[in-house]
Chain A
């Protein structure tokens, strides 16, 4: 498209305006976290004071959130991938029912799920006060995302025939699952895992009800900070959140990148070699 037409200029201006509208709050919030006094603006000078204050006061919530997110993604992998496989293989009325039921925790407000958990298991003292109570809530909420994203990939490949092909070559069920099924739904597993980590790290609704003073997660601490402390502290908290979640997500992507397959056959090696 020619760059000098009026239409192009208008479109460019519109795009820039929309971007500015979306990006400005993020930038301002990040700046607020390192400004001496937000109400005096950036002229009051930059400081790391708020970040240090948050770090000393709230770093436990950060570690707890990461811990819960990782445990959550682990459980979702263990439960969700086999579940998605079972749903993909057995197409009957029952599997469709299960598929629908599985999204209920997403449709039902988090507060309602949390209340349900508390009324049912709240009396189990140690469980109620431990971080695993929050973990259970998070798994309930995130599992559908893992199952859906893996199931979508499995539905796109002809899984049945691929497995029959592997079986005809002598591969039993376990072998097929690890050699054929898992590698071919890698992209779905990665998408699901990223989603689960992100959702778990940021989950507030349910966690707000499930937490105890000793099991505060990052978003709960953030709400505390915004509600009862200075705006600068809340913003510094957000900065730290970004600093943690972005590398974490990048690391997960790197981890899931395909490497040289362990099934590789090196045809360039002389065939007469003994192993």
Chain B
């Protein structure tokens, strides 16, 4: 398959966005996206991720002073029609007046590609997305998953320099979302095309991104690989937003963090720590209560198939969640000792 000759690197310099009514939706942002990289913009709604994507696309202009560079060329003043980027929308944005094949071929028509070449390319795209059978269908005869395949085929048909995806899977049901996510991931790796992917779903971000940009309130909270973001969250917001976290208030005393239910040895713990955070999968069950860090009573258990989730009441209305393969079934009301390694503790 033939793609654009070389992938594109994208740089945003001091791109901020203030709407006409004065609301600042994006604080000045500097961001570099390497050629061929898949960058995921992740955050809750209103965090500025879609605005950032629209600035890259050319659908929004950054406030004065902001610059968008494609391979070092300033494209800030160009609108989307001149930037040669493929875009996939949450609502698909397929043209209802055209068939599937016409939708996929539209970008080529606009570029006055000769009919024969256009037909060949359309056929190639339909085959790639495995929707040849739908070529003559009208858009309103398609399911959500089929629509999104058509949207991808349409965006890629023009051999764009970059692919921009705005919550492409949000409108689909969970099972389809997962299947299409795997497919998109494989597609982006295979095409080696620079992509920016916006989502509020951390599982999607983890599965797709080479790097993830976690955003909140118009600011970047952290940029890093999925592993870095998960294991070394840079802020309390990131720690909370990505995956599940236990959070316990307390204070440091003689190399240990004291909180409800007991204390956890933490020789390197900062003296000012007011709160510790740790992941449910890092909590282990102690051999006995005597050697445990925290003690409590099982309040609920959930069997999840490959693992179990157990809620332990450690007193003072505090609950610790642990997750993992339990060697024996636990019953509510049972006393339990818990161990947490110092290396798994976080504080902000």
Contact = CB atoms under 8 A, between A and B. Distances in A.
Nearest to B57: A168
A92 to B, nearest CB: 10
A157 B91 CA distance: 11
A175 B95 CA distance: 14
A91 to B, nearest CB: 13
Contact of B105 (A168, A171, A265): A265
A170 B93 CA distance: 15
A25 interface: no
A161 B99 CA distance: 18
A219 to B, nearest CB: 38
A53 interface: no
B110 A263 contact: no
A273 B118 CA distance: 11
A169 B111 CA distance: 9
A167 B154 CA distance: 12
Interface in A170-184: 170-172, 175, 179-180, 183-184
A120 interface: no
A267 B101 contact: yes
Interface string B63-83: 000000000000000011110
B22 interface: no
B106 interface: yes
A169 B135 CA distance: 19
B85 A168 contact: yes
Contacts of B105: 263, 265
A166 B135 CA distance: 19
B89 A161 contact: yes
Given A158-B91, A168-B57, A170-B110, A271 B155 contact: no
Interface in B134-163: 135-136, 154-155, 158
A179 B97 CA distance: 9
A189 to B, nearest CB: 13
Nearest to A164: B59
Contact of B96 (A164, A184, A266, A272): A184
B82 to A, nearest CB: 8
Contacts of A272: 116
Contact of B116 (A164, A170, A180, A273): A273
A265 B158 CA distance: 16
B158 A170 contact: yes
Contacts of B120: 271
Given A158-B91, A261-B97, A263-B106, A169 B154 contact: yes
Contact of B110 (A157, A162, A164, A171): A171
B89 A164 contact: yes
Given A265-B102, A265-B118, A168 B155 contact: yes
B87 A164 contact: yes
Q: Chain A interface mostly helix, strand, loop or mixed?
A: loop
A178 B249 CA distance: 63
A18 interface: no
A179 B96 contact: no
B contact residues, range: 35 or more
Interface string A147-166: 00000000001100110111
A167 B80 contact: yes
B97 A184 contact: yes
B123 A165 contact: no
B116 A261 contact: no
Contacts of B84: 170
B122 A265 contact: yes
A247 interface: no
A269 interface: yes
A255 B57 CA distance: 39
Contacts of B82: 170
B86 interface: yes
A5 interface: no
A166 B116 CA distance: 22
A23 interface: no
Q: Which of A162, A267, A269 has the most CB of B within 10 A?
A: A267
A263 B135 CA distance: 13
B169 interface: no
Given A171-B81, A275-B114, A164 B93 contact: yes
A264 B93 CA distance: 19
28 contacts: A158-B91, A158-B93, A161-B89, A161-B91, A162-B93, A164-B93, A165-B94, A167-B59, A168-B164, A169-B81, A169-B107, A170-B107, A175-B110, A180-B97, A184-B97, A261-B97, A261-B102, A263-B102, A263-B105, A263-B106, A263-B109, A264-B102, A265-B101, A265-B115, A267-B136, A269-B119, A271-B119, A274-B114
Given A158-B91, A265-B119, 4 more contacts: A167-B59, A184-B97, A265-B115, A271-B120
Q: Which 3 A-B pairs have the closest CB atoms?
A: A165-B93, A169-B107, A168-B87
